[in-house]
Amino acid sequence: MTLRSSFTRRQALVGSAMLALAFTAVGAYADTLDTIKSSGVFTVGNGVVGSKPWIWKDDAGNYTGMEWEMMNYVANKIGAKKVEVVPVDWGALIPGLTAKRWDVIFSGMTVTEERRQGAGIEFSRPYYFESDRIVVKKDSPAQKPEDLAGKTIGALVGSVEEIQARQLVAKGIGGEVKAFNDQPSVFLALNSGQVDAVVSDNTSLGGQLQITPELRTVGGIYSLSADEKWQDAQAKAPYKFGGDGVGIRKEDTELLKAINDAFDAMDADGTREAILKKYGVWDESLTRDAMMTK
């Protein structure tokens, strides 16, 4: 073998190896959907465990609630045999998702541009739609929102309700905002007098009234509000603001499609409507068209 032929062959081998490595690098990322199918487990991060009617444990220690039922439907459609819920503080949901501690966020999380562009995650189509209320104890002297001037308003940390509370305070409705790590703590603070009022989504309020009926609202229905610095981006977004979606890593495009297909199937066979009616929250604002038509 001549020196030239040896060198040429060595070049070819090196070139082939580099090409193989390039192809390996391109195909190195395995969509989380593949992992879910192979393991049979759909792992979800949830920051509202214990909050009715979202998800809680019954007397036997088993999960129940409208999100639990929807999780299991979706899991079955995407090829998983089991749902594993990881209860965490609300503020840990997105960092935990990006760190791959769970496959998705399934936690009544509102789709916002702050989360999509700012935090860098993607969302499924909405499976629920929300609005806010100002809640006080029945014996509170406050009869209208303006009566809360100078008072403390509680909300769930990092939520759209915290944004709403801070915007209300900026308008003179309330004097300061106190944020809590989980939804049950928000209402515990109200009942114990740590705060004078709370901003709650309509659904969590409905569940809480079953536990502590000595609550009432002041003011009317408040549409969800984006953070001031994100309002322009939110206005340009292609979706209707106020919907809750499943949070997904941007690279998991196959998982995103599979979950969207599962929600479409849930609407087509009437399961989503049946679940929401079972938990007493269904109305016409929750139809697929109403949620998705901007």
Identify the pLDDT of residue 28: 53
Identify the pLDDT of residue 8: 43
Q: Are 218 and 136 within 8 A, CB to CB? A: yes
Q: Is the pLDDT of residue 294 over 90?
A: no
Q: Is the pLDDT of residue 7 over 50?
A: no
Q: Please indicate, yes or no, whether the overall pTM of this predicted structure exceeds 0.85.
A: no
Q: Is the pLDDT of residue 6 over 90?
A: no
Amino acid at 153: I
Contacts 24+ apart (CB under 8 A), 85-89: 85/44, 85/46, 85/49, 85/55, 86/43, 86/44, 86/45, 86/46, 87/46, 87/47, 87/49, 87/50, 88/45, 88/46, 88/47, 89/47, 89/157, 89/181, 89/182
- Taken in order of first residue, the domains within the chain and their CATH numbers are 32-129+232-292 (3.40.190.10), 132-223 (3.40.190.10)
> Would strands 243-244 and 197-201 be described as parallel, antiparallel, or unpaired?
unpaired
37-73 tens-digit pLDDT:
999 999 999 999 999 999 999 999 999 999 999 999 9
Q: Band of the pLDDT at 13, cuts 50, 70, 90?
A: very low
CA distance 51 to 38: 32
Q: Is the pLDDT of residue 180 over 70?
A: yes
CA distance 44 to 24: 29
